[in-house]
Structures are given as structure tokens and as C-alpha cells.
Amino acid sequence: MPDTNRPGGSTAPPAAPRYASVSVATRDVHLSFGRHQVLRGVDLDVGRGETACVIGPSGSGKSTLLRTINRLVEVDRGDILLDGQSVRDRDPDRLRQDVGMVFQQFNLFPHLSVLRNVTLALRHLKRLSRDEAEEVALRHLDLVGLRHKADVRPGRLSGGQQQRVAIARALAMSPRVMLFDEATSALDPELVKGVLGLMADLASQGMTMVVVTHEMGFARQVADRVVFLDRGRVVEAGPPDQIFEAPRSPRLQRFLAQVG
Amino acid sequence: METLRTLWETFFDLESMREALPEMLTVGLRNTLLLALVSAVLGTALGMLLAVAGLARTRWLRWPARIYTDVLRGLPAAVTILLIGVGLAPLGLAWWGPNPYPLGILALSLIAAAYIGEIFRSGIQSVEATQLEATRALGLSHAAAMRLVIIPQGIRRVLPAWVNQLIALIKDSSLVYFLGLVASQRELFRIGQDYAANTGNESALLLAGLFYLAITVPLTHLVNWVDRRLRDGGPASEPEDDPAEEADEVSSASDEPPPAALGRAPRPTPDKTLPASNEAPPASTDALPAPDEALSATTTGGATDAGH
């Protein structure tokens, strides 16, 4: 895969990097944990370079849906397509190199420096030399404004900084789609802004993103499409204007009133 | 008064100590350290194998590891050392002659491995499942994730317990005297005991005890120090930077003039960063929820959704 997210040169105006994004579609996805039906026929369509925000009450299956896309959990029925190709036809480890994921709890590796957090997969999966991996890593740390923290352990960073390192770690692998699982839910309110700004930048640069979030303001402003998930089903989906200004289903109306 | 003096001389007869000291230093200390070090290396390596086997998905690895651990931890060290050291002595004689050390070291290693395996296993198991998930999400295989992320973290968490086991090993090394040692093979305890038998007081044995303490006590403090060093990079108690600086970092990364940069050391102009903030203003200000909402999202939203 070509390294498409090379930063723009120093000449103004710098060209926005274009990510070799893919489209994401889920088709009639069913999934149960034991007797508990988590997903009950979910259809989702995210075009290349689009951002879809998945909203819904806790326990509605949002995070699980996200994990079916990179096969951290396997669907019982239905399919997931990246650019029309079923993820089931691909080796999970190869698939995951194309799908970046950012977690609610950051999940940085506490025993490694910030730099090593980013270089780990580059060295072991992309087989880059130490120098090459560090160059790529520093470029992406630059992107999230944390190059100066490269030698620090994650535990020394604030939650917001940790999450930005996690984003850099995912981006360094040149993913073709990014999954965000409540990326700001564990952050102190004053640190949320920086992470959301970074995500908005990424969206505007053409990365395909599936974002599970409780940040309605972000969904409203950044999403191309908002999907309201409740009890394992898509209750309503559409452009943000429609979802937030003219919700049709009573359940979405109730949900928006609660979080509003 | 007389009893007290006798008691004092039983333990603190300096003359007896001075007599035993040279041999303890040149022979005893060397042999004790040899036994302990070699057994520690072998026991740790075997313990690591046992830990990995004990966590394996197939029962054909798990069960043997379990049984081995139960048996070796359940036997008194003296019994294991005698069974192996005496029981296998004919084999040893054939392979390396009448030296009890190889079999003694083997027995000590096998015992230590059972305990160290359990220590490592519990440490590895204590690493959060989310760490494995995050590593797998990057595309690393299960084996690579264990080797690069999970096991190193797990081992670090149990280093103090591991050193405790090495201390136990140093003390247990005295038990090889069961196997019959010639003069040059005697370790600290045996030399102390020999001198104690000759002089009729326990001062030489006390001196041996002091030698053991001189090894084990610093070891305890060393591991506490290492533990603190490792924790240094652990969970953050206080973030170093204030949010203002964070906003600064992000905005400078997005090529905007950092508003809060006044009075700070000048930051080199980022020339390799992303643009875009100018064209597409981030959702930031409007996206900020009221603080209590964000908190409730954290507490209610996280737990249930992640709990699947």
C-alpha cells in the first residue's frame, strides 16, 4: 500500500493528504452473546471518505458493531464489506492493518515509550527498520502535536494526550478506515476538544470514519451520516440535519431529549 | 550473669568468627552464589515455559503444567532435593562424576520453576484484556501480542514476587548439603555448621546467617527500587500539562497560530503538519458538552457498552 498520508510540504497552501479510504458496509449483521442478542440485523453504509456517527443509548450494540468491522468479534449472520469485499474472505490480521481503531480507554502500552507505542506495529508488521519506523512515527506524532513527548511513557501524559497518541499509533499504519469507540468518553471535559478537533481534521481530509460517540455536537457538525442504534437495530439513519432537526421515530426523539 | 556470658559467647565469639571468615568468603560465598545463580537462571527460564504452557489454549499443555506445579510446590524442598540428588546419583556419576552440584542445581531449578511459573502466570493474567484487544486491533497475531505486549507487562508487575522467589532459592541452596559435599564444595551454611561443630559455639553459624542477610536484604531493596522505577511510567497520578498547553499543541499541529504561545519558549514552526483547520473548522467549541453530561456519558455509557 502506498504511503498516502504523507504530510503536505512546507509550501503554502499545503495540499490536504488524501487517504486511500475504502467504503464500509454492514449487511444484516446479527450477533448474540449467549442468549443476549446484541445486534439484530444492522445495515450500515459509509461511503469512501465519509464519516458516520453511530449514536444510541448504552448497551445498544454500538461498540460491538464497531468490533465486527475489524473482526475483533465475529458476526453470527450477515456480512461486512470494505469496498465491496467481504471481511470474512480476509485474514483477520491483514484486515486489521487496514482498519485503525481508537478505544475509549486509549489502551496505549504502558511499558513502552510514546514513540515505541507507535513503532511497534510498524516494525513487526510493516517490517520497517528502526530508523524508518521512527521517522514514520515521529511524523504522526507531529500530526497530533506530541512529537515532543516521544520519549515519555504514556502514564506521564494526560488522557487527552494519550488519546492523541493512540490516534497517531493507528494512523501510522496507513489505515483505510478508522473506527472510534467513544474516543472522548473517558476524558475530562476540558480535554475533549483537542481530540475531537483532531478527528474533525481527519474527517475533512478524506478518511473514512465510523465514530461511536456521545458527542452530539460532533455528530451534528462532522458526520456525513448519523445512525441511531437501539437494542441492536438501526432505528433511524440519515444526514445530521434530518436526525437532529427532524427525528421521526419516538425512540430517537426520546433519546435526543435525554442527551440534548 | 554467668549464663548471660555463656549465651553471649555462644553467638558472638569473635574468635570463632574470625577463624571461619576466610573459608566462608573464598569457598562458601562462591558456592552459594554459584548454586543460586545457575538455579535462578534455569528456574526462571523453565518457569516462563510453565507460565506460557499454563495459559495455553490447549489442555495438553495446560494440564501437564498444572500437575507439575502442584507436585513440585507440594513437596518439601528437602524431599525433592534428596529424591533427585540421591535418586539420580548413579546417572550423575556416569555423566559427570561424583559431583553433587549438577543434580543439586537441577533440583533447586525444578523447585524454583514451579513457584516462578505461578508468579509469571498470575502476572500475565493480570494484564487487562483491553491490552490484548488493542494489540490485535493493530494487526499483530496472538503470539506476537503476547510476546511483545502482554508478557513483558505481566512480568514487570510481578518482579517483586519473582525476587522473593530468588531469595527463597538462595536460602534453599543450603539444602544441597544433604547430597554430601567435599570440603571445596561446601556452601555458606555447611561451612558455618562445620566450624560451629568444631568450636562448640554457634558463632560461625551466625556469621553464615549474616552472609545470607548481606545477600538477601539488599536484593529486597533493589527490587523495591526497580519496582518504583518501572511504575514511574505506570498509571498517571497527575498529568504534567495543563489543558491550555494541550489546546496549544493541537492548534499548532493544525498550523494555526498558537494563541497561548505568548510567553512560552518559541515553538519551531511545524512545516510537516496537516492543514485543514482553516478550511474545516473543527467542531470543537459547539461539540463541547456541559461537564456533567460528559461525566455521565463516561460512567453510564462506558461500562455497559464495553461490558459485552
Interval A86-132: pLDDT, tens: 999 999 999 999 999 999 999 999 999 999 999 999 999 999 999 99
Average pLDDT over chain A reads: 91
Least confident of B24-28, B84-88, B209-213, B265-269: B265-269
| b/e burial code for range A186-211 (CB count within 10 A of at least 16 → b) | bbbbbbbbbbbbbbbbbbbbbbbbbb
Q: Minimal Cα distance from B136: which residue of A? A: A93
**Helix or strand run (H / E) with residue B34:** helix B29-54
CB contact under 8 A, A189 and B136: no
Distance CA B18, CA A32 (A): 76
The ranges of chain A with pLDDT < 50 are: 1-15
If one counts every other C-beta atom within 10 angstroms of the C-beta of residue A224, the result is 16
**Which whole number is the average pLDDT over B39-65?**
95
Sheet with A51-55, edge to edge strand ranges: A99-102, A177-181, A209-212, A51-55, A225-230, A233-238
3-state secondary structure of B71: helix
CB contact under 8 A, A142 and B287: no
Report whether the peptide linkage leading into residue A13 is cis, meaning its omega lies within 30 degrees of zero: yes
Q: How far is CA B194 from the centre of its chain?
A: 34
Indicate the DSSP class of residue A227: E
The whole-angstrom distance between B265's CA and the closest CA on chain A is 13
Which candidate from A144, A156, A214 shows the least CB-CB separation from B301? Answer: A214
Contacts of A233 (CB under 8 A, 6+ apart): A40, A41, A42
Q: Minimal Cα distance from A93: which residue of B? A: B139
DSSP for A154-191 reads GGGS-HHHHHHHHHHHHHTT--SEEEEESTTTTS-HHH
Which candidate from A94, A187, A200 shows the least CB-CB separation from B280? Answer: A200
What is the value of ipTM here, to two decimals?
Answer: 0.90
End-to-end CA separation in angstroms for chain B:
75
Place of cell 529424591: B83
* Residue-level pLDDT at B96: 84
* Residue-level pLDDT at A20: 83
Find chain B residues with C-beta within 8 A of A93's C-beta.
136, 139-141
How many Å is the maximal CA-CA distance in chain B?
97
> Nearest Cα to A195, choosing from A240, A158, A224, A223?
A158
Which candidate from B152, B284, B291 shows the least CB-CB separation from A197? Answer: B284
pLDDT per position as a tens digit, A217-244: 999 999 999 999 999 999 999 999 999 9
* Residue-level pLDDT at B284: 39
Mutant choice from A11, A204, A212, A230 vs B, greatest count of B C-beta within 10 A = A204
Place of cell 433519546: A255
Find chain A residues with C-beta within 8 A of B308's C-beta.
33, 36, 38, 61, 63-64
CB contact under 8 A, B247 and A194: yes
Is B143 near chain A, with CB under 8 Å? no
Q: Which residue has the higher pLDDT, B305 or A26?
A: A26
Distance CA A94, CA A117 (A): 19
Distance CA B140, CA A173 (A): 12
Which candidate from B144, B250, B293 shows the least CB-CB separation from A124? Answer: B144
Q: Hey, which residues does A177 pair with through a beta bridge?
A: A99
Distance CA A153, CA A113 (A): 4
* Residue-level pLDDT at B2: 85
**Which whole number is the average pLDDT over B27-34?**
94
Residue B120 clears pLDDT 50, i.e. is over it? yes
Which candidate from A62, A101, A197 shows the least CB-CB separation from B250? Answer: A197
Q: Minimal Cα distance from A9: which residue of B? A: B272
Contact A160, A194 (CB under 8 A): yes
* Residue-level pLDDT at B25: 93
Binned at pLDDT 50, 70 and 90, residue B211 comes out as very high
% chain B with pLDDT above 90: 54
CB contact under 8 A, B304 and A205: no
Distance CA A253, CA A246 (A): 9
Distance CA B110, CA B40 (A): 10
Distance CA B82, CA A137 (A): 56
**Which whole number is the average pLDDT over B26-50?**
96
Binned at pLDDT 50, 70 and 90, residue B242 comes out as low
Contacts of B42 (CB under 8 A, 6+ apart): B105, B106, B109, B112, B113
Is B308 near chain A, with CB under 8 Å? yes
